[in-house]
Amino acid sequence: MTLLQPDDAMSKTIFILNGPNLNLLGTREPDIYGAETLADIETASHARALELGIVIEFRQTNLEGDLVNWIQEARSKADALILNAGAYTHTSIAILDALRAFDKPVIEVHLSNIFRREDYRKHSYVSEAATGIISGFGSHGYMLGIDAAAKLIARN
């Protein structure tokens, strides 16, 4: 749901999609993922987007099929995509295939540095279709992702 929108009707739109267990942020392993909730990140994301004159659609699901459907929806409704696919990052060829059909910028975001974690987290199917990756900066990674997506959109 879009909470804040710039006045400009011609604003660019970024979908920010979040995968499984991100709804538990703030209580799930705060030593790894931080104390901020997903609602905190959403509020900060809307504020940053508003500063840049961008509209965001911020969504979370625990279901792989929802992410695939939203990525497909983004093909006609978004100018860029920021994706924290959670555990599906490391397992989902379906998400990879959907991302390959999205011909606009894709920013992959992870709260933790996945390359300093368990071996199974070091491979990302999302990365195979991503324009860029932001990993290990906690919730600030979303702000970096919005900034990167805005610059990529402006180039096009």
Specify whether the CB–CB gap between 15 and 59 falls below 8 A: yes
**Residue 62 domain-assigned (yes or no):** yes
**Residue 127 domain-assigned (yes or no):** yes
Q: Which tens digit of pLDDT belongs to each residue from 57-114?
A: 999 999 999 999 999 999 999 999 999 999 999 999 999 999 999 999 999 999 988 8
**Residue 7 domain-assigned (yes or no):** no
**Residue 72 domain-assigned (yes or no):** yes
Q: What are phi and psi of 26, to 5 degrees?
A: 100, -30
> What domain range includes position 21?
12-155
Q: Is the pLDDT of residue 32 over 90?
A: no
CATH of residue 25's domain is: 3.40.50.9100
What's this model's pTM, rounded to 2 decimal places? Answer: 0.90
Q: Is 155 exposed, middle or buried (0-12, 13-18, 19+ CB in 10 A)?
A: exposed
Residues with catalytic roles: 33, 110
Q: In terms of pLDDT, which residue wins out, 27 or 65?
A: 65
Give the whole-number percent of the chain exceeding pLDDT 70.
Answer: 94
**Residue 5 domain-assigned (yes or no):** no
Structure tokens given for 99: 């991302």
Domain count, the chain: 1
Q: In terms of pLDDT, which residue wins out, 85 or 115?
A: 85
For 14, the 3-state DSSP assignment is strand
**Residue 2 domain-assigned (yes or no):** no
Specify whether the CB–CB gap between 22 and 38 falls below 8 A: yes
The Cα 116–Cα 18 span in angstroms is 21
Specify whether the CB–CB gap between 38 and 84 falls below 8 A: no
